[in-house]
Structure 1
Amino acid sequence: MKKFISYKMIFLVLLLMFDMPVAIAHHPQIVLGINHAPPYTFVDTNQQGSGIILDIMQRIEVDVGFELQVVSCPFPRCLKMAKEGKIDMLGGLIKNPQRNDYLDFIEPAYMVLNSSFVFYALKDNNIEVNTYEQLSNKRIAVTRKAAHFERFDNDLTLDKVLVSSEKVAMDMLLKDRVDIVIAVEETADYSLKYLNQDRHKLQKLNYRYTDTILGYAAFSRKYHNLEILNKIKQKMRDFQKNGMLTELVKPYNLPPINE
């Protein structure tokens, strides 16, 4: 037994001398799922990500000491992977009771959008929606697993066509495969411009639901490194108090994150 311990000690010393990796020295890993959602999150053609949540987590990574791994996935797939514990964290989420069952939302919200949920239609179709009731009998493209406003999300009478992303929804509308699309006005306007889609063919309908939209980071409830999780939660609170969070979201033209 003594000889085995001695050999083990010598092996570890040699690893350290030659700068070879030792498993016990690795930082804990956090897998962050992101989807392409301009102007706040981007995934390029090489599946490399950028955006607010990465800026925030990379800054926290320096202070807390963990290894951030980024995985790109369509939004519905990201949620499913978080629910199953295949990824640890997501960003830009609207909080609702269903998500709270499998996600641990981190306070404070880092995105505050004073925007509206709006509906787009093709100009040539002359569709009018001036009230909520006029949404009935319309084929509405909705990003699967997305959260909007309570009345709409819980309305089982509407004809909702589920799609994988807002881009797919807009593409279907432009091809006249659905009647209307629901989206957050601020992000949709930017996305249409960024994705070079035919905005001139679309019109915003009169009915809209205006609200303050909060976007949160959240951890899968299957993530079990509570020490790291609690440190991240504390850092988010510290960043709110010392103004760091406001500085990190400023390049994205988002309002200050005040207490």
Structure 2
Amino acid sequence: MWCKATMFFFLALVSFGLASETHINAEPAHSTKTNNAQWLETQPVLRFAINHFPPYSILSEGKPPAGINVIAMKLIAERLNMRLKFVECPFARCIVLLEMGAVDVFIGLTYSDARAEFLHFIEPSVADGSVQTFYARKGSETSINSFADLNGQIIGLTRFSLYFPEFDDATSFTKVPANSHLQLINLLLNERIDAFIGSEQRLNYLLQEQGLTDTILQQNYTVRDDRKVYLALSKRSEHSGLEESFSKALRLIKSKGVFETPYTANHSE
């Protein structure tokens, strides 16, 4: 069960530090600079927690956030007549900020009763699940071909993430939480863990982006997790009462195929 907000406030300050913020403003068509400034002052702010999770959310130094989820949230904010603010945070910190109400929304969470205590899971879901798999160093003795091969291993995972029930509930191996996928990669390369778990599509993209596909190898054991993935709205957000409005906006953009849009590292907006 999750700790109460006061405990998470402490964690956020001591363990995770302060999140960085990037303002992205959806401007009305044909506005002048003066009219635009006046328009911005009247818009409610929608704080979108975002972590580097390509191809869905891509954070690059010196560039604005990009990716499928970014496109989706821009459209939702425009539909709701809100001014979008991106709050960049590692996944674990994003979860803490959501419980605190320091951010409003996040895309990419599976449902759990514990999370539902502080989050609204907006329908419809944005995805029907993902393939979870494991990664180990090339040349290591680690070989994961079945769930039983995890026994006695040291497995890295992203803090506060859910993968698949058998893994989430298992106690036959050591689990080492990290705040981000990049931290998991560093732990593996420094031989602090034997392997780590994650979404096949997203981690393969990240490893290719980092030039590590010949250094960190995907293992044979994979599991299809059919738990749906949602846009989550913090119950402490000032927009908490707008569940239906978020649902209508999400349903509209999903019907346009936004979440099925192919996205590559070379794509530019």
The alignment's TM-score, normalised by the length of structure 1, stands at: 0.79
After TM superposition, list the pairs within 5 Å mapping 1:59-98 onto structure 2.
59-98=75-114
Q: How big is the shift at 1:51?
A: 1.9
Is the contact made by 1:60 and 1:232 (CA closer than 8 Å) also made in structure 2?
yes
Identical aligned pairs, as a percentage?
Answer: 27
Amino acid at match of 2:43: H
Q: How big is the shift at 1:170?
A: 1.6
Q: RMSD between aligned alpha carbons?
A: 2.6
Deviates more, 1:98-107 or 1:202-211: 202-211
Is the contact made by 1:28 and 1:66 (CA closer than 8 Å) also made in structure 2?
yes
C-alpha distance in 1 between matches for 2:149 and 2:44 = 51
Query: Rg larger in 1 or in 2?
Result: 1
Please list every run of 5 or more consecutive structure 1 residues that lacks an aligned counterpart in the other structure.
1-17, 254-259
Across the two proteins, how many residue pairs are aligned to each other? 231
Is the contact made by 1:89 and 1:220 (CA closer than 8 Å) also made in structure 2?
yes
In the other structure, the counterpart of 2:161 is 146
Q: Which has the higher helix share?
A: 1
In the other structure, the counterpart of 1:53 is 69
Q: How big is the shift at 1:21?
A: 7.4
Q: How big is the shift at 1:112?
A: 4.2
In the other structure, the counterpart of 2:138 is 123
C-alpha distance in 1 between matches for 2:252 and 2:64 = 29
Is the contact made by 1:106 and 1:217 (CA closer than 8 Å) also made in structure 2?
yes
Is the contact made by 1:47 and 1:72 (CA closer than 8 Å) also made in structure 2?
no
Q: How big is the shift at 1:192?
A: 0.2
In the other structure, the counterpart of 1:251 is 262
SS at match of 1:252: coil
SS at match of 2:214: helix
In the other structure, the counterpart of 1:219 is 233
The reply to whether residue 102 of structure 1 matches residue 118 of structure 2 is yes
Specify which of 177, 180, 184 is matched with residue 165 of structure 1: 180
The reply to whether residue 187 of structure 1 matches residue 202 of structure 2 is yes
Deviations 1:105-131 (A, max 9, x none): 111122345x42111112312323232
In the other structure, the counterpart of 2:222 is 208
